[in-house]
Amino acid sequence: MIIPAIDLINGKTVRLYQGDYQQKTDYQQTPEQLVASYFEQGADVLHLVDLDGAKDSKQRQTQRLKEIISVAKMPVQVGGGVRCQQDVDDLLALGASKVVIGSLAIKQPELVKSWLTVYGKDKIVLALDVQINEQGDKLLPTHGWIEQSNTTLESLLDFYGSDNISQVLCTDISKDGTLTGSNVELYRQLKQQYPTIFWQASGGIGCLDDINNVAQSGADGIILGRALLEGKFTLTEAISCWQNA
């Protein structure tokens, strides 16, 4: 599955380089224009990220998220700054099909594990961004990659239990926004180790060959952001590539 992404700062379409708010690119296309275009090209799901909310939950772009979700003709998974159960309730009330939870899933796993029961695992996507060190450990920084943690991807997944998780959005931070190709081996390992999880790959896609490589890794879906915004290929081409891999 190909999942186009729209990242928001101050209501407008942006992309960050490796999660760095100081390395931001603004795009002329409005979120509404992109939503319409992606739907016309065959998108089944949209990934919407509130980067203001991710940095400071008090700055969540609630009204803007509502406006974008309301015009989307496909399900929209939404993330950015989920800090408490009320945030989950609010995003679902706005019309989000799934809520994407990142930092909190790492810092308060017992709480988020309880939400998987309360809402059902199909309503929650865990966003686990990995920073792979020289020893090969898949560490999980938090809060937009600003804060380091000693938690590894595998230890966290084992805590939750793979049967309790529906989907995981996994980004190799070193690849994000670079257009230099994805960490194919990472997704191959993860799908083999946790076959029941729907893996959303993210980061580094710069050409159709990159999509083909991720598709063959065993990943179940792929998030596309910068490559689509900069016209490296169309969403239609990406979907065709994925289906034919």
Q: Tell me, yes or no, if 56 is annotated catalytic.
A: no
How confident is residue 144, by pLDDT bands cut at 50, 70 and 90? low
- Return the structure tokens found at 122: 């199909």
Predicted confidence (pLDDT) at residue 29 exceeds the cutoff of 90: yes
How confident is residue 175, by pLDDT bands cut at 50, 70 and 90? confident
Q: For residue 219, what are the contacts with CB-CB under 8 A and spacing of at least 6?
A: 187, 191, 199, 200, 201
Mean pLDDT over the full length of the chain = 92
Considering 7, 50, 176, 210, which one is annotated as catalytic? 7
Predicted confidence (pLDDT) at residue 13 exceeds the cutoff of 60: yes
Q: Taking the domains of the chain in order of start, what are their residue ranges?
A: 2-244
pTM to 2 decimals? 0.92
Predicted confidence (pLDDT) at residue 75 exceeds the cutoff of 80: yes
Considering 50, 52, 87, 129, which one is annotated as catalytic? 129
pLDDT, average across residues 17-37: 89
* Chain mean position to CA 112: 17
Q: For residue 136, what are the contacts with CB-CB under 8 A and spacing of at least 6?
A: none
H or E segment at 17?
strand 12-17
Q: How far apart are CA 149 and CA 106, in angstroms?
A: 9
Predicted confidence (pLDDT) at residue 88 exceeds the cutoff of 90: yes
Q: How far apart are CA 143 and CA 131, in angstroms?
A: 13
The CATH architecture that domain 2-244 belongs to is Alpha-Beta Barrel (3.20)
The DSSP 8-state label assigned to residue 188 in this structure reads H
Q: Tell me, yes or no, if 129 is annotated catalytic.
A: yes
Predicted confidence (pLDDT) at residue 169 exceeds the cutoff of 70: yes
